[in-house]
Structure 1
C-alpha cells in the first residue's frame, strides 16, 4: 500500500489525562449514583465510551426512546429516594423527556436531566440536531434549578450541585446542559477525592412551638375535625409519624383524590378514603388539618369547592409554595414532616380531647369503615366466572393473590377509580401512581420498571389501562433486557373509555360506539394482540376472560421470577 493510500488512525488517548466524559462518570460515582439512564447518539459518543469502559462500576440503563427511559428513571428515583441522572440527546431527546420532567415536578421526584447540546463552535447556526438557544429553556417551568456548563473542568462541580438541589426537600428535577465537544476536552486534573457522601446535612427544619400550640388549641375546640393526608407524607416516607398524629387526634383520615404516594395505611381504622367518597364528612367538618396535601382542582364545569368556606384550615408542609396555593389556611406550619409531625402530635397530647369527643370521632371512622367493608364484601361475592370481568372484581383478585410486600403501580384511568377502595395497603409505601397534578398517560409501565430496578428483591405489580399501556408499550423490552420480574396487568376495554364516559357524564349525553371509534377513543375492529406483542419481547404472557382465570395466571406468575403480562378482558 502506497503512502497516499494509508488510512489515518487516531492516536491512543493518553491515560494520564482525563476528558469531560470521564469527569461525568467520576462525578456520578462520587455523589453516590449507582445507576445512570442514557441513550447515546451522535455528539455523545465520547460519553458512551466512558460509560462502557466503567460499566462494572455504575449500572447503565439504556432504552429505545427517551420518553420511556426517563419515566423508568423516575420510577427508580421514586423508589430509592435518590436523585437519578438521565442523559438525553440534543433537542429531540430533551423534548421526548419532557413528560418525565413535568411529572417529576408535579410529584416531587429527585431527578437530574442532562441534555447534550450543540458544540460550542456551532451554537446558534441551526446545526445538526439543532437547538436555537439552550435546551434548559424547554423545561424552565418545571425545574428547581438549571445550568449550561461552559467548561469541562466545571462538570463535577455542577453535577454535584445538581444532585444536592434535586435531593433537598422539597425534592424535584434539575436540568443541566453539556455542549457535545466538552466530552472530548482533556483536562490535567481528576476530580478532587472529596465525596458528597461525606457531607453532614442538617436541613430538617421544624415549625415553632407557638404554631404547634395554636393547632392543638384549634383541635381541642373542634367538634368534627378531619385529617387530610397528602402525597408529601408518602414521598418523604413518614407514614408512621402520620399514623401517630392521627391516633393522637382520633380524627378520620382522607387521602388526596389522585395521590402519587399514599401516606396512610388504607387498612387503618381511621382511614376513610378519598374526598369523592366522603363529601358528607367534609361538609360537616369544622377543622381540616392538611398534611402535605395538594388541593388539586380539575377546572371542569360545575366543580364543587374543595372545602366548605366555613372550615378552618391548617396546612403542614416542607414546601413553602404549598401554603395558600389553592386555599388560604388559617394556620400554616412550615417544616420537614419528619420533624413537624412528632412535634405536633406531642403538643396535641398536652391538651387531649375528652373521652366523649374521641368516641364521637371514632364513630365517624367506624361508620365509614363499615361502608367500605360492605363494598369490598359485595365485590368479593361476585361470581369469578363473569366475563368481561367487572373492574372491582379484577382489583379484588389482585389484592387476594398478591403478596403483602408487592409494590403496586396504578396507571389505569377507569380501574384507578376503584383501586383505593378495593385494595388494602398495610404499608402505604407499596403504592405508586401519577398525581392529578401530573396527569400523564403512558407513565405506568416504564415507571414500574424503574421501581423494579430500585427494588430488585420484590415484585412490582403494574395495574394498567390498555390506553395507558399503548402509549408506552415498547418499554416492556427493558423487562426482558434487564431481566426484571415485573407483572403487567392490562385491563383491555378496547380504548380510552374514560374520555367518552367523562364527556357523557359532564354533558348528560350518550356517545355511541361508531362515534367513539371515529374519534379514536376506542379501537373499533382492531384486535390488538397484547399477549403476542409481549411474547415477541421475551415476556411470559396470558389472556384471561374471567376472574378465576386471572387468579390462576397470577399464581403462575408468582411462581416465576420472570416478567409477565396478563391481558384482562375487562370493562
Structure 2
C-alpha cells in the first residue's frame, strides 16, 4: 500500500467527510486520490487562510474533527493567522500541508522550509512524516491530540515522495475513547456549599459549555439558584439562551471594566473558558473584595491559571454542572424567584434603553448601527444561524437578536479579523438545512473576501451582510483609549484608519466571484433586501452603508 492510500484510508476511518483546502503541486498525491474516495468532499478555496477559517467554524458547527490541506511554506504562512484563531477557538483540527521531496532537502528547493517549525507556535503538536511507515501512526496520534481537552489544531507535513512510498504499516484507526470525566464529589460539595450561602452569585459562561452541549445543565443551575450569567468579551459560541432573564450580556476587556460589571456579586463561577482575555492593562482584580471565585474546566491547564480559587473542579463541564444542580438540591425556591425577578427587571430596563436608543437613532443618515441591526433581524428568517464579525456593532447585534442554543451563533476568537466571512462557509457546509446569515464589517471582510468565490462554487446559500462604515472603527476607538490610558494629549486625526480613496465596492467584488449583490443606502430598504436575498436560495451579498464613528 502506498503512503497516499494509507493517508486517505486513515481519514475515512476517522470519519473525515470534508477536506478544506487550496491545491498545489506538492498536494498532487491527495488530489489525485480523491476520485477513489467519493465519500470525502474537497471544499476548494482561493486562499489558504480562508480554507482554515472555514474549517475552524465547520469543526465548531459539526462537532467533527476539521481537516485541512495546505500548500508548502508560503501557503502555510498564509494560514498561520487563521490557525491561531482555531487554537483560540479550541477547534479540534488536523492541518496538513504538502512538503517538497525529502531528497531535495539539502538543495534548498523552491518553496522549501521547515513546515513543522513554522506551525509549532500555533498548534498543539507539529510534525513532519519522514517515511510512509509513519503515516498511519502519526495521523492517528494527530486526531487524538487534536481532540484532547482543551481541543485545538495539530499540524502534519506530508513530503510528496513519502506519500508515494510503499509501506506495510496499516492506516491509523480511531480508538473507542470514553473521555467524559466525572467531577470529584468533594469539589462539587465545596462549590455547592459556597453557592448555597452566596447572596448575589454570577456565572461566566465560556464556550466549552456550548461545545459540550451543557447549556441545558447551566439553565437548570441558574434557575435553581437565581444567578446572573455573563459571556466573555470574545466568544465563539452561544452557551446560554440570551432571552433568559438571567442573561446579563458581555464582559469588558480590562480589569476595571470587569470589576464594575461584577461589583455587586459576592461569588463568581467561571465555566469552560480562558478567563479573562484583556485588551488593555490596568491594575487590580476583576473581582470585588471578599468575592468567592469558583471555576470548572475540562483540562487542568486552565484551572486556577490566573486567579486563586475558593473551589476548582476538573471534569467534563456538562457532568460538573449536572452534579452541581443535584448538589445544591434544596435551595430555597422563594429566594431563587426573588433573584430572578430582580434580574428580569434589569433585563427589561436594558431592553427599554435599547428601544429608546434605536428610536433616537432611527432617522439618522447614514443608517445607525442600532437601526441596521433591527432591520436585518426583521428581514432574516427566525431560524437563521448568525455568523458574527461585527466588532463595534456587536453590542447592538446581541441587544437585537436572540440566540437560544449553541447552534444559533458562531464567531471567532483570538482577535484576528477575517474569520467571519471565511467561517460562514464552514457553518453552511456543516448545517445545510438552516439558513446562514453572516454579518461582517467592511474592514474585516477584506481579509477573507475570496470566500465569496467558494460560496458560489459550492452553491452555498449564505447571505453575507457587509456593514460598510468606510473605516476601521474599532481602531479609532482604540486609539482614543490609548491616548486616554497613556495620557497622550492629542487632537490629531486618525491616521490610516479610513477605507476611502478609493471606496471599496463590495457588490462589484461579489459579482466578479459569481455572487449576486445588493447595495443599500437607505435604512428603509434593508429589511426587504435581506428577505429577498434569503428567498433567492443562492449566495448573496448585501452592502449596507452605515454611520462611522461620531
**TM-score (ref. length: structure 2):** 0.93
- Write out aligned runs for 1:503-518 (5 A): 503-508=479-484, 515-516=493-494
Matched, 1:434 2:412: yes
Q: C-alpha distance in 1, partners of 2:491/2:515?
A: 37
**Aligned-partner Cα distance in 2 for 1:114–1:222:** 49
Per the TM alignment, residue 463 of structure 1 is displaced from its structure 2 partner at its CA by 0.9
Number of the residue aligned with 2:340: 362
Post-superposition CA distance 1:249-296 (Å, at most 9, x none): 111111112211120000011111123498655112111111113322
Indicate the SS of the match to 2:446. Answer: helix
| Secondary structure class of the residue paired with 1:237 | coil
Are the aligned partners of 1:44 and 1:183 in contact in 2 as well (CA < 8 Å)?
no
Q: Secondary structure at the match of 2:386?
A: strand
The aligned counterpart of 1:218 is: 194
Shift of 1:307: 2.0
Name the residue aligned to 2:467: 491
1:476 aligns with 2:459: no
| 1:403 equivalenced with 2:381 (yes/no) | yes
Question: RMSD of aligned C-alpha atoms?
Answer: 2.1
* Partner Cα separation in structure 2 for residue 550 and residue 303 of structure 1: 44
Alpha-carbon distance between aligned partners in 2 of 1:160 and 1:405, rounded to the nearest angstrom: 37
C-alpha distance 294-309 of structure 1, shift in aligned 2 (>3 A): farther
Q: How far 1:417 moved relative to its partner? A: 3.4
In structure 2, what is the Cα distance between the partners aligned to 1:330 and 1:543? 54
Alpha-carbon displacement from aligned partner over 1:357-382 (angstroms, at most 9, x marks no partner)? 32442243123211222133225535
Tell me the SS of whatever aligns to 1:473.
Answer: coil
**1:298 Cα deviation after fit:** 2.4
Indicate conservation of the 8 Å contact 2:272/2:296, yes or no.
yes
Out of 203, 210, 215, the residue aligned to residue 239 of structure 1 is 215
Q: Is the 8 A contact 1:113 1:176 kept in 2?
A: yes
Q: Is the 8 A contact 1:205 1:336 kept in 2?
A: yes
- 2:264 maps to 1:313: no
Q: Determine if contact 1:387/1:569 at 8 Å carries over to the other structure.
A: no
Shift of 1:302: 4.0
Q: How many aligned residue pairs are there?
A: 539
1:151 pairs with one of 131, 141, 157: 131
224-233 vs 163-172, which deviates more?
A: 163-172
Confirm or deny: 8 A CA contact 2:443 2:499 kept in the other structure: no
Match of 2:144 in 1: 164
Query: Which segments of structure 1 move beyond 6 Å, counting only runs of 4 or more?
Result: none
Shift of 1:542: 0.5
Cα gap change, 1:47/1:278 in structure 2, threshold over 3 Å: closer, same or farther? closer
**Aligned-residue offset at 1:454:** 0.9
Of 408-417 and 497-506, the range deviating more from structure 2: 497-506
- Give per-residue Cα distances to partners, 1:146-178, cap 9 Å, x unaligned: 332122133122212212221233211111112
Give the equivalent residue in structure 2 for 1:7: none
Kept in 2: contact 1:464–1:491 (CA 8 A): yes
- Structure 2 residue runs of 5 or longer lacking an equivalent are none
What is the alpha-carbon distance in structure 2 between the residues aligned to residue 278 and residue 250 of structure 1?
21
Normalising to structure 1: TM-score of the pair?
A: 0.89
Distance 2:360 2:509 in 1: 31
Alpha carbons 1:212, 1:343 under 8 Å: kept: yes
Q: Distance in 1 between matches of 2:351 and 2:244?
A: 12
- Structure 1, residues 166-206: CA drift from partner, whole Å, max 9, x if none? 1233211111112221122234x5846x853xx43211112
Partner Cα distance (1:546, 1:306) in 2: 42
Q: Does the aligned pair in 2 maintain the 1:492–1:570 contact within 8 Å? A: yes
Find the partner of 1:74 among 38, 44, 56: 56
> Please, which of 337, 350, 358 is the counterpart of residue 317 of structure 2?
337
Of stretches 412-421 and 477-486 in structure 1, the one that deviates more from structure 2 is 412-421
Q: Secondary structure at the match of 1:44?
A: helix
- Unaligned residue ranges in structure 1 (runs of 5+): 1-17
User: Aligned pair in 2 of structure 1 residues 538, 384: CA closer, same or farther (>3 Å)?
Assistant: farther
**Alpha-carbon spacing, 1:191–1:413, altered in 2? closer, same or farther (3 Å):** same
Q: Secondary structure at the match of 1:186?
A: coil
The residue number in structure 2 matching 1:120 is 102
The offset of 1:481, in angstroms, is: 0.4
Q: Larger radius of gyration, structure 1 or 2?
A: 1
Cα distance, 1:345 vs. partner?
A: 0.8
Which of 302-311 and 166-175 deviates more? 302-311
Partner in structure 1 of residue 69 of structure 2: 87
Aligned mates of 1:226, 1:57 — CA distance in 2: 47
Instruction: Tell me the secondary structure at the aligned position of residue 451 of structure 1.
Output: helix
Q: Give distance in 2, aligned partners of 1:92 and 1:202.
A: 39
Q: Bigger shift: 259-268 or 521-530?
A: 521-530
Q: Indicate which of 348, 356, 367 corresponds to 2:328.
A: 348
- The reply to whether residue 33 of structure 1 matches residue 33 of structure 2 is no
Alpha-carbon distance in 2 for matches of 1:511, 1:66: 41
**Is the Cα contact below 8 Å between 2:239 and 2:405 reproduced in 1?**
no
